[in-house]
Amino acid sequence: MTPLTIADRTFSSRLMLGTGKFPSNESMRDALDASGTEIVTVALRRADLTGGNDPFANILDFIDPERYLLLPNTSGAMNAEEAVRLARLAATAGMPKWVKLEIHPDPRYLLPDPIETLKAARTLVDEGFTVLPYINADPVLAKHLEEAGCATVMPLGAPIGTNRGIETRRQIEIIIEQANVPVVVDAGIGVPSHAAEAMEMGADAVLVNTAIAVADNPVAMANAFRLGVEAGRTAFEAGQGSQLTEASATSPLTAFLNS
Amino acid sequence: MTPLTIADRTFSSRLMLGTGKFPSNESMRDALDASGTEIVTVALRRADLTGGNDPFANILDFIDPERYLLLPNTSGAMNAEEAVRLARLAATAGMPKWVKLEIHPDPRYLLPDPIETLKAARTLVDEGFTVLPYINADPVLAKHLEEAGCATVMPLGAPIGTNRGIETRRQIEIIIEQANVPVVVDAGIGVPSHAAEAMEMGADAVLVNTAIAVADNPVAMANAFRLGVEAGRTAFEAGQGSQLTEASATSPLTAFLNS
Amino acid sequence: MTPLTIADRTFSSRLMLGTGKFPSNESMRDALDASGTEIVTVALRRADLTGGNDPFANILDFIDPERYLLLPNTSGAMNAEEAVRLARLAATAGMPKWVKLEIHPDPRYLLPDPIETLKAARTLVDEGFTVLPYINADPVLAKHLEEAGCATVMPLGAPIGTNRGIETRRQIEIIIEQANVPVVVDAGIGVPSHAAEAMEMGADAVLVNTAIAVADNPVAMANAFRLGVEAGRTAFEAGQGSQLTEASATSPLTAFLNS
Amino acid sequence: MTPLTIADRTFSSRLMLGTGKFPSNESMRDALDASGTEIVTVALRRADLTGGNDPFANILDFIDPERYLLLPNTSGAMNAEEAVRLARLAATAGMPKWVKLEIHPDPRYLLPDPIETLKAARTLVDEGFTVLPYINADPVLAKHLEEAGCATVMPLGAPIGTNRGIETRRQIEIIIEQANVPVVVDAGIGVPSHAAEAMEMGADAVLVNTAIAVADNPVAMANAFRLGVEAGRTAFEAGQGSQLTEASATSPLTAFLNS
């Protein structure tokens, strides 16, 4: 597989992992290892920047910053102001100046807000952040964010945590066709075949969390997603044949055996 | 991955390969190697059992019988009688007494004939063959074939060579639920994500030919399918979470940062 | 809409109705009326040919034989012998010598048996019945049944009573392309859009039962299906445009307003 | 069917028509008549407000303003400023102060711009327009537009003119669930079954143009869409049964005929 470049960094893995919902920090650590990932996203609220008593407060102790790029996310922010504040706080606390920008005012479907996301992205890019925005599969919005200086666009396949796959396939195909920054499919990816499908379509990477964290065996599932991403990307680079309407014999049907 | 048992043999790979349509016998040989397959199907008409002048006559020289189980297929047979005749001829010529039973009277879509397939299967099982029938995704027919003593059932995902994936998903799910013999998804699998999907559904194996043979780089594509099958099977064994209608936050949304 | 001809009879409606699951015989009668149907199928077991105490025994009192063609069905038959016996019994009792042939050995999914269905069809055609067989969406089987003298083929869209629509779309398209007898989509049709879709594909008719019978308002739903079938058939006859990959402006984009 | 209310007006038809691409103004007029529509959208550039030489300049002569609400659209506008300017020009020219707001900077897929659309909507609502914005199927954007005072939201099913149906089904379902204004599915609707599907989902109306205008027989196709919309809405109001995973017998399978 060719390596993936985001902003000024290069990665050999095309699978990003989230850190929510794991049964324990130990299982999370082992799943990160099995997945081969190099980019790990953490909800800023969990990282206990405030010194409070969050039971997940020590999550960062389980993620080796030498091995993984820590990607703080603004999950839980309901508007641009909250998201910007969270990102600044993370930078102040010494985390990398990268941010996965998530703004979702609706608690039921956690769908991203296009208006507030673009607004926050402009502010954060201006302040020197490397911004990876989570968005609906909206090609025009993706273009605006690219033009605003975002390092990637991260369209959703289906709402967060639903495991329903790439329901927005056509829109993501258009985003991929038009983008000059990496396209990372985020949310909805529930099984390795979904991840492989995203890569076959030409997506640059995928982000997976729920599907691995809630599996009966998260470590084995992390390995399965690693294989799925490699399968899809390898196929993309190998050059796929096209779909046909009729059947196409795999061996010539003329000259049937005469004996 | 747990191993796959068909009749009295056990295999570590769950990917079967066909041998049609490759640009050369050399590329076919290398693709077989890259795929990790242990079962290779060959059209009997191509194997030149009759000593004729088929340009593919020497295909068997490129398939090591120590490494691969050679699975003769009856592709091109239009009824039970032709299929039985081909199978017997192969056995007489010293090939393994296994047969992939394909009977398709219609040259356009190459869809299998349920009536003639069951008839031929009964005859060949009686004669001691290990029979792997290619069928439409018909659960009742699958049950009849199992009861007739077939070693597997091989339902199609979509017509041969179309690369359209598992269009018959619901029917194959029922076949898997009801079968006591291995279920091998055959035909229609066009990209590794399709192969992974079949394995995630609980299929025991997949057979791929066109998608690998017509890729720009068949060897890389064979590797991609190996990874896809491993991804899907590993996920199946790791225990998948379920699909949801609503979103499900990957981190708690209450207790938002107060600072 | 052009009329529909089956065997030697011509119908102006392309919607057939089943009579199971209605809350009352009165609601069934009114739904039949609202649907505009001219062909009504009745399970022979319900018609109380044996003079027993079935609570639905008087169902025939609610179906005017002058207005509707009564189509006895062999629902519940598990093999050819049982189906043939039921059909003969109906004819002896003075019902029309038409039969909807249903043979489903599996009580869970009620999927039809291709082998037994073809066997029974041959017998019943020989005995002068007009035979309309319910089948899996199997184009080769459909061809065998047509050649056996069946008056239609009735492929399923999805298992009976599931309301899931035309999951077998590709296979039914092939059946329609190849058939010389009317193709009636039966089972799985859950909403009027499914019925319209079948007609747009070129199916000759659809059979609906569960979706109407279990609606909150069966009479209104019967009317909705009538409209759906007319919509789809009218569109088919009006000649549809094709699908495109790109957008296509509905008004020229050049020469934008200069003012 | 219950009537549809948008802003302060009530309509008995739930089918809106566009006026582009028809073979002639006469065929457009007859298709409007056959469709039963009461709302007709016209590209402002075509209405020749500037007194230029557009060959479609006289399109308004073919649309009776007593019978149809004329809904000017801003098709071709690439940003908020252009759209606002077009709407004002129409009002000045004496057209109704209603506007279908379309802003699509990308000429290939004609996808709407969420940022510019919200901006223009706010301006036009402030100026007293009744605003019906065309949008991507983005539930959060739909909420913003509703809060800005728009009279409807008009999410796309698929890119304009593609006839591919409701590819964004899940997102539109969420929009319908959350909206307090009518939801009109616009773009992508290619056959009556697509229109029926939208209505069955609970959409309040659909807008169709290309599928009717490019049909071999636009008048018959307009009638087909009228029927499809009525079918879907009638079914929605009749209360649909749910989908099942297993089959469900339409007649009891116990107590099989003993004779």
pLDDT tens per residue across span B215-239 = 999 999 999 999 999 999 999 999 8
The pLDDT-based confidence of C258 (bands split at 50, 70, 90) is very low
Whether C140 and B105 lie within 8 Å, measured CB to CB: yes
How sure is the predictor about D243, in pLDDT bands with cuts at 50, 70 and 90?
low
Output the pLDDT for position D242.
Answer: 62
Comparing CA positions, the residue from B20, B21, B87 lying closest to residue B49 is B87
Q: Which residues of C62-98 are buried (b: 16+ CB within 10 A; e: fewer)?
A: bbeeeebbbbbbbbbbbebebbbbbbbbbbeeebeeb
Using a CB-CB cut-off of 8 Å, the residues of chain A touching D158 are: 170
CB D47 within 8 A of CB D79: no
Q: What is the pLDDT of residue C244?
A: 58
The one catalytic residue among A21, A100, A119, A143: A100
Q: Which chain C residue's Cα is nearest to B136?
A: C138
Distance from CA of C169 to the nearest CA of D (A): 14
The rounded distance, in Å, linking the Cα atoms of D180 and B109 is 50
Annotated binding-site members of C for 1-deoxy-D-xylulose 5-phosphate: 161, 187-188, 209-210
**SS3 state of residue D98:** strand
Determine the distance in angstroms separating the CA of B122 from the nearest CA of chain C, rounded to an integer: 13
Nearest to C138 among B105, B136, B164 (CB): B136
The Cα C45–Cα D256 span in angstroms is: 7
| 8 Å CB contact of A158 and D170 | yes
Taking CB atoms and an 8 Å cutoff, what residues of chain C touch D237? 217, 220
State whether A50 and B259 contact (CB < 8 Å): yes
pLDDT at B240: 75
Q: Is the pLDDT of residue B255 over 50?
A: no
ipTM over 0.95: no
User: In the numeric block, which tokens belong to residue B41?
Assistant: 């199907």
Looking at B127-136, D44-53, D189-198, which range is the least confident one? Answer: D44-53
**Tens-digit pLDDT profile for residues D144-178:** 999 999 999 999 998 777 788 898 899 999 999 99
Residue given tokens 């729920």 in the structure block: A210
Touching partners of C (3+ C-beta pairs < 8 Å): B, D
Q: Quick check: B165 and B190 in contact, CB under 8 A?
A: yes
Residue-averaged pLDDT of chain A: 89
Strand (E) positions, chain A?
Answer: 4-6, 9-11, 15-18, 39-43, 69-73, 98-101, 130-135, 154-155, 184-186, 205-208
Interface test with D, best of C209, C243, C250 (most D CBs within 10 A): C250
Chain C closest CA to D107's CA: distance in Å?
8
CB B133 within 8 A of CB B143: no
Subunit contact D114:A158, Cβ cutoff 8 A: no
Give me the residue from B141, B167, B168 closest to C114, CB to CB: B141
Residue of D nearest to C77 (CA): D256
Closest CA of chain C from B219, distance in Å: 31
Least CA distance to A208: which residue of chain B? Answer: B250
Task: Give yes or no for a contact between A180 and A149, defined as CB atoms under 8 angstroms apart.
Answer: no
Question: Residues of A near D (CB-CB distance < 8 A)?
Answer: 104-106, 109, 111-115, 118, 136, 138-141, 143-144, 158-159, 164, 167-171, 174, 178
pLDDT tens by residue, D202-239:
999 999 999 999 999 999 999 999 999 999 999 999 98
Asked if D114 and A140 come within 8 Å (Cβ–Cβ), the reply is yes
Of A115, A167, A178, the CB nearest to D118: A115
Residues of B within 8 A of C136 (CB-CB) are 136, 138, 140-141, 171
Q: Provide, as residue numbers in chain D, all residues whose Cβ is less than 8 Å from the Cβ of C190.
A: 240-241, 243
Query: What's residue C95's pLDDT?
Result: 86
Q: How far is residue A74 from each of residues A19, A89, A123, A182, measured CA to CA in Å? A: 13, 11, 14, 20
Low-confidence ranges of chain A (pLDDT < 70): 46-57, 241-259
Mean pLDDT of C192-218: 96
The residues, ordered by sequence, that sit 6+ positions from D229 with a Cβ below 8 Å of its Cβ are D13, D14, D15, D192, D195, D196, D199, D205, D206
Decide if A111 and B247 are in contact by the 8 Å CB cutoff.
yes
Number of Cβ within 10 Å of residue A98's Cβ equals: 23
Measured distance CA(B36)–CA(C187) in Å, rounded: 42
Give contacts of B110 with chain A, Cβ < 8 Å: 247, 249
Contact A107, D80 (CB under 8 A): no
Among candidate residues B64, B60, B65, the one with its CA nearest the CA of residue B19: B60
Q: Which of D89, D107, D238 sits opposite C259 (nearest CB)?
A: D89
Chain centroid offset of residue C15 CA: 7
Contact between residue B232 and residue A190 where contact means Cβ atoms under 8 Å apart: no
Reduce the DSSP state of residue A158 to 3 states and report it. Answer: coil
Unique residue bearing structure tokens 């056995």: B91
Contacts of A among chains (3+ CB pairs under 8 A): B, D
Q: What is the pLDDT of residues D37-76, one digit of tens each?
A: 999 999 887 555 555 555 445 788 899 989 999 999 999 9
Q: B116 with B96: CB under 8 angstroms?
A: no
- Per the annotation, binding residues of A for 1-deoxy-D-xylulose 5-phosphate are 161, 187-188, 209-210
CA distance D63 to D216: 22
Which residues from C are below 8 Å from B138, CB to CB? 111, 114, 136, 138
- Nearest CA of chain C to the CA of D256: how many Å? 7
Q: Which 3 state secondary structure label does DSSP give C114? A: helix
pLDDT of residue C43 exceeding 60: yes
3-state secondary structure chain B: CCCEEECCEEECCCEEEECCCCCCHHHHHHHHHHHCCCEEEEECCCCCCCCCCCCCHHHHHHCCCCCCEEEEECCCCCCHHHHHHHHHHHHHCCCCCEEEECCCCCCCCCCCCHHHHHHHHHHHHHCCCEEEEEECCCHHHHHHHHHCCCCCEEEECCCCCCCCCCCCHHHHHHHHHHCCCCEEEECCCCCHHHHHHHHHCCCCEEEECHHHHCCCCHHHHHHHHHHHHHHHHHHHHHCCCCCCCCCCCCCCCCCCCCC
**Which residue among B216, B227, B256 places its CB closest to the CB of A45?**
B256
- Annotated catalytic residue: which of C21, C97, C100, C143? C100
**D-chain residues near A111 (CB < 8 A):** 138-140, 174
Interface test with B, best of C140, C143, C145, C172 (most B CBs within 10 A): C140
Give the pLDDT confidence score for residue A252 in this predicted structure.
43
Residue C254, C-beta contacts closer than 8 angstroms, at least 6 positions apart = none
Flag if D140 and A168 touch (Cβ within 8 Å): no
Provide the pLDDT for residue D96.
Answer: 86
- Chain A environment of B162 (Cβ under 8 Å): 243-248
The CATH superfamily assigned to A4-238 is Aldolase class I (3.20.20.70)
The four Cα atoms A78, A83, A85, A90 give a dihedral, to 10 degrees, of 130
pLDDT in tens, B91-130: 988 888 999 999 999 888 889 999 999 999 999 999 999 9
Q: Are D4 and D11 in contact (CB under 8 A)?
A: yes
pLDDT surpassing 50 at residue C136: yes
C97-117 tens-digit pLDDT = 999 999 999 888 889 999 999
The arithmetic mean of pLDDT across residues B4-23, rounded, is: 96
D21 catalytically annotated: no
Q: What pLDDT is stored for residue B258 in this prediction? A: 35
